[in-house]
Amino acid sequence: MPSERGPKPHPPWVVTSAAAIDTELGVVKTGKEADVHLVERAIPADPADPLDPPTGGPGRSVLLAAKRYRDAATSDFHRSGRYQEGRRMRNTRDSRAVKRGSSYGRQVSAGRWAYAEFETLSRLFLLGLPVPYPVQVQGTELLMEFIGDGVEAAPRLAQARLTEDELADCFVQVTDAMRALARAGLAHGDLSAYNLLVHHGRVVVIDLPQVVDVVGNPGGMEFLQRDCVNVCEWFTRRGHECDADELFGELVAELFG
């Protein structure tokens, strides 16, 4: 699969120079189907040409999250085919390889999830949703904005220590993001306090390869309702009362409004 870069205009912090060097800094998170690594992408200083950014200039660097999907042979999790209902693979050779479960087919399948997340992040970023900016995708690796301070990743909502007011504000942000998804005809499909980050009071939605077209997927409404239940049950347990059925009704109104 060819390399693709994130949507333009690129944020000013993105390093696009061909002279950039990537350095591995460690593992941020391990998961059932992918691991996330911390990568520093840097342009080396070039004293001979200090004013020409494409060749380096004074040098600069940025931290990125590299999400690397594992193929079925090394993963202990297989995403449900229900998420993919309504999606079609254009390349018939790839489609046959995936069905046969060949080594090549497993790589194609892992790459499909990486590209699916890249395309979803690109679309949602352009719509203004709070998601990491997708920098680049190639094969089974997705490079994206690292959400955190220094080399410390932002905590997941499930791990964040929040006051009552902060909890209420996070609920508003989460449901605003869900409404924006619904207006785009989508549901996260696997939303929980474990794929929401909290960074300086801002909620960021992550883990998006399985995003569901609510109308195009036969189980779309079920996925949407499940997201509502997961979110409301977590916030209610933390002391912020909310109603999953009421939220579901609001999202359906956004969906068909």
Given 94, 207, 243, 245, which residue is catalytic? Answer: 207
What is the token pair recorded at 196? Answer: 């929401």
Given 76, 190, 213, 245, which residue is catalytic? Answer: 190
The dihedral of CA 187, 190, 193, 198: what is its sign?
Answer: negative
Q: In the annotation, is 165 catalytic? A: no
Spell out the residues 6+ positions from residue 163 whose beta carbon is closer than 8 angstroms to its own: none
What is the token pair recorded at 251? Answer: 């999202």
Q: In the annotation, is 35 catalytic? A: no
SS3 content of the chain, % helix, strand, coil (to 5): 35, 25, 40
Residues carrying an active site annotation = 190, 207
